[in-house]
Amino acid sequence: MMEYFLKVLRAEMRKQHKNRFFGKSIYVSLFLWPLLTFITAYYSYKPFPLDKIVRGLDYINESNLIIFVLMGYMCLIFFRCFVQSAWLFSSERTYGTLELIYMTPANRLAFIMGNAVASLFESIWLFVVFAAGIFILNASSFKINIGCAILGIILLLTLSILWGMLLNALFLFSRDSAFLFTVLEEPMEIFAGIKVPAVIFPLWAKVISAVFPLTYIAEMLRRIFIKGDGLLQIRGFVLISILTGLVMLTVTIICLRLGEEYARKTGNMALF
Amino acid sequence: MLIAENLGKTYETKDWSGFLRRKCTQVEAVKDVSLEMQKGQIIGLLGINGAGKTTTIKMLSTLLQPTKGRIDVDGLDGVKDAMKVKKRINMITGGERMIYWRLTARENLWYYGQLYGIENRLLEARIQKLLSMVGLSDKQDIPVERFSKGMKQRLQIARGLINNPGYIFMDEPTLGLDAAIARELREYVKDLARNDGKAILLTTHYIQEVEELCEYVYVMDKGAVIVQGTPKELALMGIENKVLCLELNENHELLHASLTDACMSIEKDCLILWDDKNKTYTITSRQDMSGIVTRVLLEQQAPFRNFYHQEPSLEDAIIKLSRRGA
C-alpha cells in the first residue's frame, strides 16, 4: 500500500518536473525573481528609522534587518510557489488528463502531494542556497537553538507541502482558478507579515493574516533564527502550526473526495 | 465479460430563474441501456451527437456513476468495486489531448504505468513492446510536442494498453486523422481484438470503420439503444427501397420503353434513372424488380455487363433509424 503510494508520488513528481522544467533558463528566473523582490523589500526599509516603526518586535534592528527580510522571503517562497503551480495544475482538468488519472486506481492524495513536493523543491532550492549563504555570513551575531531550528525547518517543509496540497485540491476542482490565483498571490505576501511584521497590523488585517499558515511559520522561524528563542518560547507557534496542518490535510482530503464524488455524479469536474 | 444492464443516467441541471431562485431540471441522458462486451470482440456504439454514447462510455469506465442499472466486469460490480475494475479497463480517445506534450513518448507511458502500480521491470518491458507495436520505438525519447497527429494517436493507443486492460473503450480514435493513418490504426484495433483477445467498444462517426471492424453494433438515440445487431442486419433494417443496377455495354433504344413499361406495371411509382455516361440504369422500388428486368433483358436481347442489387449502406440505415427513433 505504502509502496504504491510512494510510486505514485514519485511518478507525479517526475512528471511535473519534466512537464514544467524544459529549459535551463527557468532556473535563472527562479532565482532572480525572489532575489529582486527581496532586494526591493530590503531597500524600501533602509530610509526609515526601524526601531520607531516596529515597536511591537524587540528583536528587529538595523543590524539584523537583512536576516529579518531574508527569512520572511524564504518562507514566502516556500508557500508562494504553490499558488503558481496549483494554478498550472488546474490545467490537468482542462486538458482531460485528470479524467485519465481518475480512471486509474492511483491514490489521489499521493497524486496531489507529488505535484506539491515537485513544485516546492524546484522553486526553493536556489533561493535557499542563497539565503543560507547570507545567513552563514551573518551567523556570528546570532545564538540559535539547533533543535528548535531543525523543528522549525521541518514544520516549514511540512506546512508548506500541506498548503500546496490544499491549493492543488482547490485549484483542481475550481471553475475559476484565475480568481483564486488573484486572491492568494499578493494578499499572502502583504498579510502574512513578510515585508511588514503582522504585529503592527490593525486588527482587521491581523484577522486576515491569521488565515495564512505562513504567518505563524515566518514569525516562528524569525524568533528561532534572529532572537534565539527556545522550545518554551515558540511552543505556541508549534502548536498552532500542527493544528493548522491538520486542518489543511482534512480540508484537502474532504475536497478531493467531494470533487471526485461530484464528478462521478454530474460528469463535471468543476466542484465550485 | 462486461455486462451493462438497464443503465440509466439522469443529470440535474440548475439555472437561475430569478435573482435568487434556481430552477432544477432533470435531464435523462441515458435510459435503460443494456450491452455486452466479450473478449476478442469489437462492438460499435453509434448515434448522432448527443445520443448518449459518451455518457454510456463514462459510466462503463467508472468515471460516472449510473443513477440506475448495473455494470458487471468479470464478476466485479462497476460501482462498488470501481477501484478493482479500473485495473481491467482503459480508454483511448481521439484528438491530441490526454497526453503530456513536453514529456517523451516513453515518459508518458512510464507515468501512466506507475499510476497503475505496475512493477518497474514489467513496465519497462511493456513500454518497449507497446512502442514497437505502434511503431514509435525510434521516437521514444522525443518530446510529444514534436510528434505528428498520427504519431500522437499511436501513442494514445499505447497509453490505453499500458495496464494490459481486458476491456478498452475507444472514443472516436481516428478523429481528424488522414485516410492512410486511420487505416493503419484500424489494423491495430483489429489485431488487439483478434490476436490479443481484448474486448473493444468503439464509438465513431466514420461508418466505414464500423463496417470494417465491428461484429456487433448498438445504435443510440436520445439516450436509449434504439436498435442493435450486426452491421449487415442494421443496414437491412434501415432499407425501405431496393436498388437494382443494370450496366449496359451500349445504348439500346428499345430497352428503355420496355423496361419502364414492365417496371411501372408492377409498381407505379418506382424510379428509373438512366446514366448516359456510365450506360447504367438504377431502378429504385419497394418490390424486387430483378425478375421482371431479367425477362425484359431476355426479350430485347440487350447486351449488359453487370446486373446487381446495390448493397444497402449502413450509414443511410443509421441516419434513417436515428430519425425514425425507437
- Angle at Cα A52 formed by Cα A48 and Cα A53, nearest 5°? 65
Residue with cell 525572489: A34
Q: Do B58 and A105 touch (CB under 8 A)?
A: no
Q: What is the edge-to-edge ordering of all strands in the sheet holding B167-171?
A: B89-93, B167-171, B199-203, B42-46, B216-221, B224-229
- Which residues from B are below 8 Å from A103, CB to CB? 61-63, 86, 89-91
Selected residue with higher pLDDT from B7 and A51: B7
Nearest-neighbour CA in chain A from B145: distance (Å): 11
Average pLDDT, chain A: 81
DSSP letter at A258 equals H
- Which residues from B are below 8 Å from A267, CB to CB? 11, 55, 58, 63-64
Beta bridge pairs of residue B25: B13
Q: Do A95 and B97 touch (CB under 8 A)?
A: yes
Q: Which residue of A has its CA nearest to B66?
A: A265
Q: What confidence category does residue B326 fall into, taking pLDDT thresholds of 50, 70 and 90?
A: very low
Is A17 part of the contact surface with chain B (CB cutoff 8 Å)?
no
Please report which helix (H) or strand (E) contains residue B248, including its range.
Answer: strand B242-248
Instruction: Decide: residue A144, CB within 10 A, 0-12 exposed, 13-18 middle, 19+ buried.
Output: middle
Using CB atoms and an 8 Å cut-off, which of residues 118-177 of chain A contact chain B?
none
User: Does position B19 have pLDDT exceeding 80, yes or no?
Assistant: no
Say how far residue B12 (Cα) sits from the centre of its chain.
29
Helix (H, G, I), strand (E, B) or coil at B268: coil
pLDDT in tens, B130-144: 898 888 888 888 998
- Which residues from A are below 8 Å from B76, CB to CB? none
Q: pLDDT exceeding 90 applies to what percent of chain B?
A: 17
Nearest-neighbour CA in chain B from A154: distance (Å): 28
Beta bridge pairs of residue B199: B167
Min mean pLDDT across A133-137, A179-183, A238-242, B124-128 is at A179-183
Q: Which residue of B has its CA nearest to A23?
A: B102
Q: Do A105 and B86 touch (CB under 8 A)?
A: yes
Instruction: Decide: residue A246, CB within 10 A, 0-12 exposed, 13-18 middle, 19+ buried.
Output: exposed
Task: Provide the pLDDT for residue B41.
Answer: 92
Is B263 part of the contact surface with chain A (CB cutoff 8 Å)?
no
Nearest-neighbour CA in chain B from A167: distance (Å): 22
Q: Pairing state of beta strands B280-285 and B271-275?
A: antiparallel
Is A1 part of the contact surface with chain B (CB cutoff 8 Å)?
no
- Which residues from A are below 8 Å from B116, CB to CB? 104-106
- How many Cβ atoms from other residues are within 10 Å of residue B298's Cβ? 9
Nearest-neighbour CA in chain B from A106: distance (Å): 5
Q: Which of A92, A100, A175 to mutate to test the interface with B (most CBs of B within 10 A)?
A: A100
- Which residues from B are below 8 Å from A106, CB to CB? 115-117
pLDDT in tens, B84-127: 999 999 998 877 778 888 899 999 999 999 999 999 999 999 99
- Which residues from B are below 8 Å from A10, CB to CB? 114
- How many Cβ atoms from other residues are within 10 Å of residue A167's Cβ? 30
Q: Are B10 and B67 in contact (CB under 8 A)?
A: yes
Is B41 part of the contact surface with chain A (CB cutoff 8 Å)?
no
CB nearest to B64's CB, from A20, A100, A264 = A264
- Which residues from B are below 8 Å from A97, CB to CB? 97-100
Distance CA B247, CA B228 (A): 35
List all residues 6 or more positions away from A218 whose beta carbon is below 8 Å from its beta carbon: A71, A72, A75, A76, A192, A193, A194
- Which residues from B are below 8 Å from A108, CB to CB? none
Max intra-chain CA distance, chain A: 61
Cell of A32: 532572480
Task: Provide the pLDDT for residue A201.
Answer: 81
Is A23 part of the contact surface with chain B (CB cutoff 8 Å)?
no
Say how far residue B80 (Cα) sits from the centre of its chain.
29
The mean pLDDT of A12-19, rounded to a whole number, is 86
Is B97 part of the contact surface with chain A (CB cutoff 8 Å)?
yes
Min mean pLDDT across A138-152, A213-227, B27-41 is at A138-152
Q: Are B255 and B317 in contact (CB under 8 A)?
A: no
- How many Cβ atoms from other residues are within 10 Å of residue A254's Cβ? 11
Q: Do A19 and B11 touch (CB under 8 A)?
A: no
State the count of interchain CB pairs (< 8 A) between A and B. Answer: 80
Cell of B40: 476478442
- Which residues from A are below 8 Å from B53, CB to CB? none
- Which residues from B are below 8 Å from A22, CB to CB? 102, 143
Please tell me the total number of residues recorded for chain A in this structure: 272
pLDDT in tens, A111-129: 888 988 888 887 777 778 8
Say how far residue A110 (Cα) sits from the centre of its chain.
18
User: Does position B239 have pLDDT exceeding 80, yes or no?
Assistant: no
- Which residues from B are below 8 Å from A104, CB to CB? 86, 112, 115-116, 163
Is B93 part of the contact surface with chain A (CB cutoff 8 Å)?
yes
Min mean pLDDT across A3-12, A25-34, A77-86, A94-103 is at A25-34
Amino acid at A43: Y
Is A91 part of the contact surface with chain B (CB cutoff 8 Å)?
no
Is B51 part of the contact surface with chain A (CB cutoff 8 Å)?
no
Residue with cell 450496366: B247
User: Does position B168 have pLDDT exceeding 80, yes or no?
Assistant: yes
Residue with cell 515558540: A234
Average pLDDT, chain B: 84
Residue with cell 504567518: A215
pTM strictly above 0.80 = no
User: Does position A240 have pLDDT exceeding 80, yes or no?
Assistant: yes
The mean pLDDT of B54-58, rounded to a whole number, is 91
DSSP letter at B312 equals P
User: Does position B292 have pLDDT exceeding 70, yes or no?
Assistant: yes
Using CB atoms and an 8 Å cut-off, which of residues 123-162 of chain B contact chain A?
143, 159
Is B58 part of the contact surface with chain A (CB cutoff 8 Å)?
yes
Q: Do B62 and A103 touch (CB under 8 A)?
A: yes
Supply the DSSP string of A68-136, one letter for each residue: HHHHHHHHHHHHHHHHHHHHHHTHHHHTTHHHHHHTS---HHHHHHHHHHHHHHHHHHHHHHHHHHHHH
